[in-house]
Chains A and B, each alone.
Chain A
Amino acid sequence: MAVASRSKVVASFDEAVRDIPDGATIAFAGFADIGMPANLIRALAKQGAKDLICVSNRTGGADVPPETADIGLLTERGQVRKVICAFTAPTRRSQKLRFARYHEAGLVEAEICPQGTLAERLRAAGAGIPAFYTPTAVGTELAEGKEIREFNGRKYLLEYALPVDYAFIRAYRADAFGNLQYRRSQRNFNPIMAMAAKTVLAEVEEEILPVGAIDPDQIHTPGVFVHRMVKVPPPPEGLWPHIDRLPRK
């Protein structure tokens, strides 16, 4: 008997995001446009869920074209209540960040979180660990109001796990049960966000394979964590931000 009798492949991104309610906490994977679920984000912008809490490395790209599908777009559409990110402002004065305008105007909240702490909070959530101590940010303004404890003569901060309702992820290859493989630095936040979420939506770059077509030793995110998958169509119908960012030949 095969592991899965039912495929998790859904026909469209619109269908994949249809039931996302107002107020959901959603983790968005990706780093430097690679492994970023841009098609799912675009569908969510169209679907219109509001009051979202968005968890991601950054709040969207700087100096990007107007319709770029990232947290900046969701912010412009009035869908975002709060972000939890390692970057919440431009890193250069010359840069324009869509999110920053709304944040500066007090229309959205931002919780800034060191990238390693963000990754570990997600990992902990997916590992059944409610909180942990980290040396990161001790002695900075981020430590204000947080519990400090000393272990072996060194100070550590208490940080809490960050469970999410949904994770939007992007994989290179999948089988119909949702076993996923990433390619190169596409892996980044994808596996830990998948494990931190109740419901995982994956966009997949290659044709989705029959169940069992990926060697079990070569699977990065097991299908038990994945609920819905959509194959990314070729451009221009599908979004391929990591290809678009390549320098023009």
Chain B
Amino acid sequence: MSTEARGLTRQQMCDRLAMEFADGWIVNLGVGIPTLCSNFDFGERQVIFHSENGVIGYGPLAPRGAEDPHLTNAGAQHVTLNPGAAIIHHADAFAMIRSGRIDATVLGAYEVAQNGDFANWRMLGQKGGGIGGAMDLAVGARHVFIVMEHTTRDNRPRLVKSCALPLTAPGVVTLVATNFGLFEPTGEGFLLREIAAGIELAEVRTTVGAELIAPPDLRPIRLRAS
């Protein structure tokens, strides 16, 4: 049975990572699933979204029919600008990334290894690839979070001992949300920090391709900041 569409929804996976963003953080969200992090209700916390195409401080998606044709985020979504937003060019957007101004990035991945390596730019057997801004974000952001389906479509683990695919960056990932839970690469394995409702620990063990470290007081996933 496929592990996809069990446990957390994509929005819940992103909500769990978005809970980690602290007040005042500047955050860059990768294309695809990570963009859902901006739907999280941050309450009183101010989180500033940065995108590689030079938009600092974008807001929610524009309502249909009210899109600004000259404005998207790096995921090509028609967003809005929050008050106080600013526009810069591409080299300056990446200057911000490499110089450590980005507090967190959330990226998708094909594989994450127990030492924090990850791979997200070339699929198996592919010629060429799609790096985009991922390699710059991976070395520049203070926190690199990954959100991805727990296993591949043919049920192979994505949390692995070492990556088989070419790396995006070595040793940078600090937290991974999958539909099965929240994981932290420790070097020796993956620490299961929280587990999704309806998923048994035994099943997590058999679907992680590395040592799984489960604390005795394993907690269910938290989905609201407290």
Please list the residues of chain A having a beta carbon within 8 angstroms of any beta carbon in chain B: 31-35, 86-91, 93, 100, 103-104, 110, 112-117, 119-120, 122-123, 134-142, 172, 183-192, 220, 242-243, 245-247, 249
Contacts and interface: CB of A to CB of B under 8 A. Distances in A.
Given A86-B130, A115-B90, 11 more contacts: A31-B72, A31-B90, A112-B131, A117-B136, A138-B169, A140-B167, A183-B70, A187-B90, A188-B89, A191-B89, A245-B69
B88 A114 contact: no
Interface string B79-102: 001000001111101110110000
Determine the interface band of chain B, counting residues with CB < 8 A from chain A: 35 or more
14 contacts: A32-B76, A86-B130, A86-B132, A88-B129, A89-B126, A114-B133, A136-B98, A139-B170, A184-B68, A185-B73, A187-B87, A191-B89, A192-B90, A242-B70
B218 to A, nearest CB: 33
Interface stretch (B11-19, B35-43, B47-55, B194-202): B47-55
A104 to B, nearest CB: 5
B69 A243 contact: yes
A87 B69 contact: no
A186 B133 contact: no
Contact of A242 (B69, B89, B122): B69
B60 interface: no
B123 interface: yes
Nearest to A244: B69
Interface string B206-217: 000000000000
State the 5 A-B residue pairs at the shortest beta-carbon distance, nearest first: A116-B94, A116-B136, A88-B128, A89-B128, A32-B76
Contact of B87 (A139, A141, A184, A242): A184
Contact of B98 (A35, A134, A187, A189): A134
B78 interface: yes
A115 B136 contact: yes
A140 B169 contact: yes
B86 to A, nearest CB: 11
A187 B134 CA distance: 21
